[in-house]
């Protein structure tokens, strides 16, 4: 045993939801390399050798329930990585409501092991959640999958930004109640990352912050570069971290808030709900 073992996942079972491609696939590979027994759930085909593969459609409650039954427990780290872009039917279910239902079902069934952790992949689009918290609380207080879908439809919030804000608010809200059950919950908020989804929407997703990256001499992140902090947050090394959204954007938002990179200031204030 060494002090560094706190960063590893030996003897632990890690579930990656949305682990067939992009950041989820990278996270599954990192978890496996760190000693975990990896289970990957996805709608797409899963290719990671040595991982257990479970088909799931996060837009359908019955599919989620079947996937949870197939997975069983214990799960020591649950990584919620699946997401789609605006214009995708069922975006509110795939990007948030389905993840929440899966987590709540596993928590209720005692499948998440005490001392474990949950990690979400959020987005810069979710950073303004605090400014919209009263409305988001209404969504978070819906008791189940169907009532949440109905709320989103009633309020016209079936969009990428709204669901990423809901995700960040959920992480903050559940920190207390989940920790009472021995489970931590956190999220990362990646900057532009070269995933298949981002490349498919490159005119908006990968041009975001390009001037900042050019000025500091860095590229858009790779999926692996985002997988590392996500796995860290779910490791024993992060035992003191709970209920946060870690911004992993090479400093773009911080540089905008402080105006050290002035061109990012209006965008940062908009995303943070400070205009």
pLDDT in tens, 213-265: 999 999 999 999 999 999 999 999 999 999 999 999 999 999 999 999 999 99
Distance CA 229, CA 44 (A): 24
Per-residue pLDDT of the chain (275 residues; tens, 9 = 90+): 689 999 999 999 999 999 999 999 999 999 999 999 999 999 999 999 999 999 999 999 999 999 999 999 999 999 999 999 999 999 999 999 999 999 999 999 999 989 999 999 999 999 999 999 999 999 999 999 999 999 999 999 999 999 999 999 999 999 999 999 999 999 999 988 888 777 887 777 788 889 999 999 999 999 999 999 999 999 999 999 999 999 999 999 999 999 999 999 999 999 999 87
Q: How many domains does the chain have?
A: 1
Residue 138 lies in a domain: yes
DSSP string spanning the chain?
--GGGGG--TT-EEEEET-SSHHHHHHHHHHHHTT-EEEEEESS----TTSEEEE--TT-HHHHHHHHHHH-S-EEEEEE-----TT-TTHHIIIIIHHHHHHHHHHHTT-EEEEEEEEEE--GGGGGGGGGHHHHHHHHT--SHHHHHHHHHHHT--SHHHHHHHHHHHHHHHHHHHHTTT-EEEEEEE-SB--HHHHHTHHHHTTTTHHHHHHHT-PPBPHHHHHHHHHHHTSGGGTT--S-EEEESTTHHHHHHTTSSGGGHHHHHHHTT--
Domain of 240, CATH number, reads: 3.40.50.720
Residue 48 lies in a domain: yes
Residue 58 lies in a domain: yes
Residue 1 lies in a domain: no
What pTM does this model have?
0.95
Residue 77 lies in a domain: yes
Residue 223 lies in a domain: yes
Domain extent, residue 22, equals: 7-271
Residue 2 lies in a domain: no
């Amino acid at each position: 045993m060494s002090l560094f073992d706190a960063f590893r996942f030996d003897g632990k079972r890690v579930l990656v939801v949305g682990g067939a491609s992009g950041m989820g696939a990278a996270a599954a590979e990192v978890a496996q390399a760190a000693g975990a027994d990896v289970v990957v759930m996805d709608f797409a085909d899963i290719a990671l050798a040595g991982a257990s593969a479970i088909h799931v459609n996060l837009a359908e409650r019955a599919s989620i329930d079947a996937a949870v039954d197939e997975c069983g427990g214990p799960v020591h780290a649950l990584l919620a990585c699946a997401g789609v872009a605006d214009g995708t039917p069922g975006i509110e279910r795939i990007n948030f409501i389905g993840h929440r239902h899966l987590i709540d079902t596993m928590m209720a069934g005692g499948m998440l092991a005490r001392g474990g952790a949950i990690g979400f992949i959020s987005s810069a689009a979710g950073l303004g959640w605090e400014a919209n918290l009263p409305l988001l609380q209404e969504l978070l207080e819906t008791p189940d999958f169907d009532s949440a879908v109905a709320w989103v439809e009633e309020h016209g919030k079936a969009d990428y930004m709204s669901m990423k804000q809901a995700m960040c608010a959920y992480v903050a809200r559940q920190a207390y109640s989940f920790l009472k059950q021995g489970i931590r919950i956190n999220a990362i908020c990646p900057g532009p990352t070269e995933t298949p989804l981002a490349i498919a929407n490159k005119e908006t997703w990968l041009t975001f912050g390009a001037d900042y990256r050019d000025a500091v001499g860095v590229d858009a992140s790779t999926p692996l570069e985002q997988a590392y902090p996500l796995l860290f947050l779910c490791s024993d090394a992060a035992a003191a971290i709970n209920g946060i959204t870690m911004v992993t954007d090479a400093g773009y938002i911080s540089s905008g808030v402080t105006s050290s990179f002035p061109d990012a200031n209006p965008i940062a204030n908009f995303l943070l709900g400070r205009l």
